[in-house]
Structure 1
Amino acid sequence: MAKEIKLPQLGQTMEEGTVVNCLVKVGDEVKKGDVIFEIETDKATLEMESPLGGFVKHVLAKVDQTLLVGAPMLVLGEKDEEVPQSFVDSLLGVESAPSGPAPAATTAIAEPAKAAPEPAKPAGKIMASPRAKKLAQELGVDLTTLKGTGPAGKITELDIQKAAEAKPARPATAAAAAAPAAAAGEARLGTTIALNRLQRITAERMLKSKQEIPCFYLTVRADVTNLVAKRAELNAAGDVKVSFNDFIIKAVATGLERFPIMTGQLAGSAIKLADAIHIGLAISVPDGLVAPLVKDVNNKGLKQIARDSQALIERTRADKLDLSDLEGGCTTVSNLGAFGIESFIPIVVPGQCTILGIGKITDTCVPDNGNILVRKLMNMTLSVDHKVANGAYAAQFLDFVRNLLEEPSGLTV
């Protein structure tokens, strides 16, 4: 008997997903648990597994389509079963998701003309990340001609770059020339630049934050002279390179243990505190900004945090994050000091209570008992959800974090 496969809710906040890759075609046998699609959500690109076994009779979802949760994706049936077009037509009218109402716009689903196997479509067989596909489009590389060197033969950005370098140069069309320029930040005045998916999602989430999270902001200046010396000492003697962010993340985690309300979220008439201290680290990627989580920071020493942070950065930039790297955070650290920014007001990530913005470390003349000392100072700005925490409580938390950074011997190595 023919059965439909719907787009599942792959994350707590997922409302829609974009089909990045289809890994099956009409006639293929699928077993329960087989990966059938790659779906890009508001957080990451995830693998969608089949909840059932059977043979593919119809592929309803197409690559690059954005579908609502609950939209029909695939039809499975017995090997020799004939699935009537009327059954497919009925699926295209489905308007409810498994977990509740979630209308699926019929215009978002391309309907096959007949139950016969679809024409071969290279995009459905290509294993490549969204950024790799985008790079291929910008460089004019045909993905169907490449053999991927990544896991399971997945095409990587490096594969595309090598292919682009190997092929002869050709005149670029105006559209092809404009895309790389925009991606590299070289757009000309007067042009219009389309948002990529990550930028659009970021815009939507930041608007949601501004509309639903009434924030107040606290700024302090920390004297991190001792911290700079401590970091240099550790990195000179150890096998693990510790960054300033690692110290900050550890200090924040210790502060959250002392002031647990700062991990909370308003739940009706109560405040639900976080089960664990997972801290987001804002990381720049070619398409925008991602803030995956360093997990259980309060239970780790500084060097382990450094290892985990570095591994997280590498996975982020290799587009290898999964949903567990992105959900469950209680705060985020965003450091723009490397760009020369002295202070800024960050926007709280929806689902979290706070975000800490870190500025550059500057040599500053400071009066001391009639003398002038040159000290290394760093601005920290904390954005706080006023629904959860009040000003006095948040100020105590931030002051505690500052003291830890000014006297870093209290941070476990």
Structure 2
Amino acid sequence: MAIAINVPRVNNNDDEVKLVSLSAAVGSLVAAGDVIAEVETDKAVVEVEAHAGGYVLAVLGQVDEQLRVGSVLLWLGETADEEVPKSSARDQRAAHGSAASGAAAPTAKANILLRQHGLQAEQVAASGERLSAADVQRYLDAQQGGKNRAAAAPTARREVSAASMTVPGEVQALASHEKGMLSTVTWHRDHAVPGYIEISYEQAPWLAAAKAHQAETGALFSPLLPLMGARLVEIAKDHPKINATMVDSGRYHYAQVNLGFTVQVAEVLYLTVVQAAEQKNKQQLVTELVELQRLASGHKLAPQQCTGATLSFSSMARWKVGRHIPVLSPFTSLMIAHTAVDDQTGILGATYDHRVLSGADVVKVLKLLSRPA
């Protein structure tokens, strides 16, 4: 009798997973415990193991497709010519989230809205290949005059006024850099869905690369941090998703990489910016970052040298902190957080906008950044 291998549930909030690899083909023989596929959500990549042995009779999914949790991924049989159960056609439609009428497969968030309001996917017109949460919300608004959106929208934040304070005091005007930080924190609070991930890494390869570069160029100080910033730009060129933000429910990919690089001068924290960093070679980029640090130390930065970052790098290694979780700059999705535990071990972390990047995306970047190119 044929045995079904089902699509596993990885996270409680996800009704769909992406099939990222498949190592079993029709006719192949697998043993119990063999890894037959890998599936991915925004938070993890998980191996799918065969809970029984047998010959693969049918595979009901293709790599890079979204599959419904609980649907049949493949059928196993005692012999290679065993008949596939007749329910496989129904399972195929379920795997792709499609009803028999040909309705567009809903995304996980769309499924949540559909269930909350007792709707079927066939009732809602899709604006693309998948039925999105925005499609469902538009349908609800049209049906109920916008009441659903108003009810679902979070209550607008109201800033605290001096008149509401019960303990005597006075309001002091903010300095320009403090106003900038307030603007950044407010954007981070009101728009991004921030996450944080960190890894440890061996510092020896990076320290050796910095020492060699210093000897080659005759630099007075170690170029370690500028070199790591330059490496981040290289990674962004190969992985443009990290150089993006969310606009109008879509991912906005920047046409250039503007590298933000933090510089602390006494009580003032600057986010210096190298414009179009992807157009510069490593030495040019390191030289410009060093020059920006010099200008920042004298409070002589020009406006274009501290605006428009599209991704950023920050280090607190000089303070020997174990961890710091930076605030995302407006309209960015990634800020690297660097520090060092000791001469052997460093820490690379990242604050990221979960609307744009998954945890898997960020881990990949951190692992690439943990070693020189």
Output the TM-score relative to the length of structure 2.
Answer: 0.50
Deviations 1:318-355 (A, max 9, x none): 33322222333211111110011122111111121111
Q: Which letter maps to 1:208?
A: W
Which of 228, 231, 236 in structure 1 is aligned with 2:210?
231
CA distance in 2, matches of 1:206, 1:255: 26
Q: Which letter maps to 2:231?
A: A
Unaligned runs of 5+ in 1: 1-189, 364-375
Deviation at 1:317, TM superposition (A): 2.6
The total of aligned residue pairs comes to 204
Deviations 1:33-80 (A, max 9, x none): xxxxxxxxxxxxxxxxxxxxxxxxxxxxxxxxxxxxxxxxxxxxxxxx
CA distance in 1, matches of 2:227, 2:341: 14
For the pair 1:277 / 2:245, whether they are aligned, the reply is no
Counterpart position of 1:198: 177
CA distance in 2, matches of 1:361, 1:225: 13
CA distance in 2, matches of 1:201, 1:272: 23
Counterpart position of 2:350: 382
Counterpart position of 1:301: 281
Contact 1:335 1:357 in 2 (8 A): yes
Counterpart position of 2:363: 395
SS of the residue 1:266 aligns to:
strand
Deviation at 1:212, TM superposition (A): 1.7
CA distance in 1, matches of 2:216, 2:247: 47
Relative to structure 1, is the Cα distance of residues 240 and 255 closer, same or farther in structure 2, using a 3 angstrom cutoff?
Answer: same
Counterpart position of 2:219: 240
Which of 246, 261, 274 in structure 2 is aligned with 1:266?
246
SS of the residue 1:381 aligns to:
strand
Relative to structure 1, is the Cα distance of residues 243 and 361 closer, same or farther in structure 2, using a 3 angstrom cutoff?
Answer: farther
SS of the residue 1:283 aligns to:
strand
Q: For 1:330-409, what aligned pairs fall within 5 Å after superposition?
A: 330-363=310-343, 376-402=344-370, 405=371, 408=372
Relative to structure 1, is the Cα distance of residues 343 and 206 closer, same or farther in structure 2, using a 3 angstrom cutoff?
Answer: same
Which of 199, 204, 207 in structure 2 is aligned with 1:220?
199
Contact 1:240 1:306 in 2 (8 A): no
Q: Which letter maps to 2:365?
A: F
CA distance in 2, matches of 1:360, 1:193: 36
Q: For 1:8-407, what aligned pairs fall within 5 Å after superposition?
A: 195-241=174-220, 242-363=222-343, 376-402=344-370, 405=371
CA RMSD of aligned residues (A): 2.4
Relative to structure 1, is the Cα distance of residues 332 and 258 closer, same or farther in structure 2, using a 3 angstrom cutoff?
Answer: same
Output the TM-score relative to the length of structure 1.
Answer: 0.46
CA distance in 2, matches of 1:297, 1:362: 30
CA distance in 2, matches of 1:357, 1:196: 25
Contact 2:184 2:328 in 1 (8 A): no
Contact 1:240 1:303 in 2 (8 A): no
CA distance in 1, matches of 2:176, 2:334: 25
Contact 1:198 1:287 in 2 (8 A): no
SS of the residue 2:251 aligns to:
strand
Counterpart position of 1:158: none
Q: Which letter maps to 1:312?
A: L
Counterpart position of 1:30: none
Contact 1:362 1:378 in 2 (8 A): yes
Deviation at 1:295, TM superposition (A): 2.9
Q: Which letter maps to 1:382?
A: A
Deviation at 1:385, TM superposition (A): 0.5
CA distance in 1, matches of 2:341, 2:283: 22
CA distance in 2, matches of 1:331, 1:240: 26
Deviations 1:178-222 (A, max 9, x none): xxxxxxxxxxxx999874332243134213312321111110112
SS of the residue 2:321 aligns to:
coil
Contact 1:263 1:352 in 2 (8 A): yes
Unaligned runs of 5+ in 2: 1-168
Deviation at 1:298, TM superposition (A): 3.0
Deviation at 1:301, TM superposition (A): 3.1
SS of the residue 2:346 aligns to:
strand
Deviations 1:108-129 (A, max 9, x none): xxxxxxxxxxxxxxxxxxxxxx
Deviations 1:213-266 (A, max 9, x none): 111111011212122122223323422355211121112111111211111111
CA distance in 1, matches of 2:259, 2:219: 20
CA distance in 2, matches of 1:262, 1:237: 31
Runs of 4+ in 1 over 6 A off after TM superposition: 190-194
SS of the residue 2:342 aligns to:
strand
